[in-house]
Structure formats: structure tokens, C-alpha cells
Structure 1
Amino acid sequence: MLTGAFVQTRSGETVKTATTRFERQVGRRQSILHFYHVGTKLFPTPAEISLATGGRRLFLSWKPESGHTWAQVAAGAVDDAIDREANYVKSHYKAKFFLAIHHEPEDEVKPVSGSGYTAKDYAHMYQRVVKRFRAKGVTNAVFVMVYMGAQKHVTTFWFKNLWPGASYVDWIAYDPYVTPKTNGQSGSFPWMVNVHWGSEFTGMYNWIRANHPRKPIMLAEWGVAEKPGDATYKGDLFRSVPRLIGRYPKIKAMVYFDSPIARSGKVQADTTARALNGYKAMSNSSCFFG
């Protein structure tokens, strides 16, 4: 099991100092460092490359559209930008890295023919990027399909059409959060992994396992906010992970979203000393390696 994080920079921090601060806090070097990119700015950046040492692996999420619709990207509107990026990767970065193409697309789907944002438009855009990277000789990108994983989307008629195809996706990921103050959701770690209600859908982990059983699973973002009135909740949830993760053998990586400004609330690991101690205990357990 690989462990990693997106670390939001704080006042006065650079990407490097934020990363080293987080690693010092949690007591271990991260296996995966997650960064986000949009448009035509080339990546990984020099700062990101400098951090990809000592066993750290880059996880780069890219939205390539630059103002175009998914359908337009699929039709070739940003081929030049895709090719520049592929050429840059080939010449500047040789190590294996994870690459997500437009993570969490579900909220942006417009299921009307001609909208440019149908689920099939997304799948075709994803395929276009992968094809052009491969045509340029990029062999070190591990392509990740990142879903939100919310039941309201998974149970729609169009959800299955987001899938680009097994030959284009190496890993499947989703982004679960526990946010007691925001929406009253305060379940356990197993609850977070398979958030659902009713019987039509039994959770995203179960859905991936049933529909794509050969693909490894990643929690590309996950986070836990404090529970009002329960100072032990967050730290205890962290501590429970090593004991419970064995129930989910398809999960091969967990990448924490360490941010005080996440839309789901303050989910950074150090909201309190108790929470940080729980995260540190989890992070240094024997279930994580790499």
C-alpha cells in the first residue's frame, strides 16, 4: 500500500518547504506527491521534479482543455498543446508517474447531445490525450481515471459512458471525504470507502471491484474533517485505517488531501494535535510501504 498526499502550501511556503514540513509532521517520506495542472503550462515543474527523489513518485492531474469543450479536445483542438506536453515529459522526466486526465468530471457532464460535455465526449477526450502521449513515445505515464464516486452520479444513465476503456486506463481512483460539520457525514473508514444509501448502489469501491476487477484502485484524494463535539473522532478514524484496510485489497494507494481550504472543510492532518498524532500513527503503520 502506497501512501501520499497533496500538500496545500501555507503562508510563506514553497512547494518544497510545504512537502518537507508535512513529511516531518507525519514522520515519514511520502510515496506519492499529488499536484494539479491546467492548460498549456508544461509539467512536471522543476520544483516537482526536484521532489521526485528518494522513492517519491509524482501524481499529476491535468485538465488540458484551455477553454475548449471536451468534444473539441477529442476532435483535435488542443493537439499541439498535448504534443508539447508529451514531448516535454519525454525529454525532461524519465521516472514512472501517475497521470490523471481531468479528474472528477461528473459534476461537469451536460447529458445533451451537442453540448460538448457529454460523458462520451469526456471519454473521447481522455482517449485522445492517451493516444497522443503514446504516439510521442511517452512510456512512463501510468494513466489514472479519477471519479468523484458520488452515488448521485454513479446511478445516472450516462455514468457508464465516462469510461475510456480498459486499454486507456491503468488505475482507477475516486475521492471520498468524511465531513461531519459540512453535511453531517461522520461514518467510519469503511463507511467512507463505500458511501451509499439504499440498495441500488453499494459504494464506489464495490462498484469498481465489480465492474473493473483487474484494475488497482487509488484514493486519489481523501480527507477527514473534525466532528463538532467529539475531539477524538478524527484521530481515531486515522488510527483505525491499518486495522481495516485489509478489507479492501484492491486499494493499492491512498493520497491524502492536506488542505485547510478544501470544499469539504478543513481536512488537513494537523487540525489538532490529537488528529495529527492519529495520522502519524496510521502513516507509520506496517500496511504502508514504498
Structure 2
Amino acid sequence: MILKSTLRKTVLTLTALAAGFAGAVTGTPAQAATQAADTGCKTGAKLVPTCGVLWGGAAGGFTSAPRDQALKTWENASGRTAAIFHQYHKGNEPFPTKAEIAMTQDSARPRVLLENWKIAYGTTWAAVAKGQQDKRIDAFAARAKAYGKQFFLALNHEPENDVVARAGSGMEAKDFAAMYRHTILRLRAQGVSNVINVVAYMGNEKWMAQSWWKDLYPGDDVVDWVGLDSYVSVEKGYYHYGNFASLLDRKAKGGTLGWYDWATTKHAGKPVMVAEWGAYHRVGRTTDKSAAYNSVLNELKKRPAIKAIVHFDTKHDDEGDRDISIDSSKSSLAAFRKLAANPIFDVKLG
């Protein structure tokens, strides 16, 4: 009788736990976010959060403002520290820089670096793949090991825009894949274990329709995260009008898979980083961005592979005609602050 009673209590306890777990994964986005925070979300292997989503930012783009100060200003405006500090470098530029390192040593505002590196600057992807820039790679390897902390590295983000689809150009899609593989394998051979790499696509329907697009991917064995740089317009009728789902689901005309589905189907198990995102309107045509910001949380709940989102903030893009700032209107900033405050982003850096 004692054995049966104990067994019955055990079954009831397990049933209650199972019900609780089921509720945890089927609740509202707000409940899911709160539950994620309660479990103590933190980064684990390859900086992948155990739960929740890493929050990041890049600020001061296309201006002369020091990027560290620009990010701090953006953080104050948004109300949350950017767990990921996104920076850009090319060629032989030495990085992480002193300013970048200092940003990751602030105990009150913990951050991890996302370094974008156009390693082939001044040469070609094919040249890098052939070992002609090994000194450049080795110099970076030494700096990375000396830094010691884990950080993200995106090699030549948005490669689609740099492809020269001509035999022998050295900048074909297959050359990008070869460059990427060579760089990561050489870093590993140099004993670099704290660099977590991200292959960051544009996810644009024009490029996804190209016959060479599939040749860009370097291989699951050398890719840690699959990334996306994508934006939406908040002006009806203007280029890429939409919401957060829109920037994740673009696909080639006649294609069957949007970008997110491509990443999670073709490269299942890889964490996804939205390495650049934002909502824009044309400069001087102030339009409310609230709807775009308000759409983010529901999409994150539906797309569990997304483990990090990094906002790119600027008053004008590289073409000078698009405002991607969070504070272009009071209502836009209020909506963005509400998004930033959500506990789904309460991920502790391990």
C-alpha cells in the first residue's frame, strides 16, 4: 500500500510538471518572454542563448561619430544595453580596437562584439582562398587570442552585393565560399577558439533568384551561425514595405522557400542571427514605425531558430535617402522602447 501511494504521488507530480512545461511553450509572447527570463537565460556554447534572444545594436552608421559613443547614445534612447556591439572593419585594420575592448569590459553594461571583416579588401576572395592573405589572417588570429573573450565574426557580410559572376573574376560566389572556408580553417589551425563566425546574407529576392546564390554557402562544418541583414519600409508603396515577418520571408520569384525557411530547412540546427535589421522611411518623410516594431515579438515566438537580433541605426543610409533611426518620431521611439524592454531579451552573457 505504501509503495502504491508513493507511486501515485510520483505520477501526479510528473503530470503537474508536464502540464506546467506545456503551458510554458504554448503561452502568449509576453508569458513566454517572462518565463524565459525566469529560467535564467544565458549564453552557452558558441554564444547561443539557452533561452531568450540576444539584443544588439550598431549606431552612428555613415557618420563621423565614434561608434562606441554612438552606441551608448542609442542604448540610452532605447532603454536597453546592446548585448551585441556590432562593428565594421576591412583589410589590415587591427581589431578588436581598444575602444571596442573597453565596451566589453563595462561590468555595468555587459556586451559581446560582432566584428564584420571584409578580409579580401584590396584583393579578391580567390586570392584569400589561395593563401595570399595568410599573413593578414594570422595577424588577426594573434589579436583574437590575445583578446581572449568570445566574440562574433562576420566575414564579408552581404556577399551577394560583391559577386562578380564572371569566370576568373576571383569574386564568384564559389570564391566567397572558398575564402570563408580557408579563413575559418586557418584560424582553427592557429588555435583560435574564441571566434564564433556568422555568414551574413542580404536575403534579397533579386539575389536569391540568381543561379549562383546557392554557391555562396561555405559549408555547415565551418559555419557557426547563419545571419541575415534585412530591412523593411514603413511607407506604403515604397520599396520593401512590410513588417518584421516581411524581412525574414523574402524569396526568389517562383521560389518555394523564404529566407528564414531556407536557413532552417537547408541548415537545420544552425542558430539564426538577424545581424542587421531596421525600419525605414525616406529622409524628410517622417512616418510612424510602430507597426514594424510591434510585429517583432510575435515573429520571434513563431521562429525559435532566431537567437539574436541586431538593430542598425542611422539617420541616413549609404545612399543617403533612408532614415533607419528609432527616434524619427515620438511614437516610433515609444514603440521601440517597449520592444526593447521585453524580458525575452534578458539574456546574461556567460
- Under a length normalisation based on structure 2, what TM-score does the superposition of the two structures give? 0.77
Is the counterpart of residue 282 in structure 1 residue 339 in structure 2?
yes
Flag the structure with higher helix content: 2
Is the counterpart of residue 169 in structure 1 residue 210 in structure 2?
no
Aligned-pair identity (%): 35
Q: Superposition pairs for residues 16-165 of structure 1, below 5 Å?
A: 16-53=68-105, 54=107, 55-91=110-146, 93-165=147-219
Change (3 A) 1:87 1:210: same
Q: How far 1:47 sits from its partner (Å)?
A: 0.2
Change (3 A) 1:243 1:283: same
Tell me which structure has the larger Cα radius of gyration: 2
Amino acid at match of 1:265: R
Q: How far 1:195 sits from its partner (Å)?
A: 2.3
In structure 1, the partner of 2:249 is 194
The Cα offsets for residues 45-90 of structure 1, whole Å up to 9 and x where unpaired, read as: 0000000133211000101113111111111111111111111111
Q: What are structure 1's unaligned runs of at least 5 residues?
A: none
Q: How far 1:16 sits from its partner (Å)?
A: 2.8
RMSD (Å) for aligned C-alpha atoms? 2.1
How many residue pairs are counted as aligned between the two chains? 288
Is the counterpart of residue 237 in structure 1 residue 292 in structure 2?
yes
For residues 178 and 133 of structure 1, what CA distance do their matches in structure 2 show?
35
Amino acid at match of 1:151: E
Q: How far 1:107 sits from its partner (Å)?
A: 1.8
In structure 2, the partner of 1:266 is 323
Q: Is the 8 A contact 2:198 2:226 kept in 1?
A: yes
Partner secondary structure for residue 58 of structure 2? strand
For residues 68 and 97 of structure 1, what CA distance do their matches in structure 2 show?
26
Partner secondary structure for residue 148 of structure 2? coil
Partner secondary structure for residue 226 of structure 1? strand
The Cα offsets for residues 225-280 of structure 1, whole Å up to 9 and x where unpaired, read as: 13898844x12321232233211111110000011222471101111121111111
For residues 257 and 221 of structure 2, what CA distance do their matches in structure 1 show?
26
In structure 1, the partner of 2:261 is 206
Amino acid at match of 1:286: P
For residues 78 and 213 of structure 1, what CA distance do their matches in structure 2 show?
32
Change (3 A) 1:175 1:201: farther
The Cα offsets for residues 94-116 of structure 1, whole Å up to 9 and x where unpaired, read as: 11100011111112212222111
Change (3 A) 1:18 1:230: closer
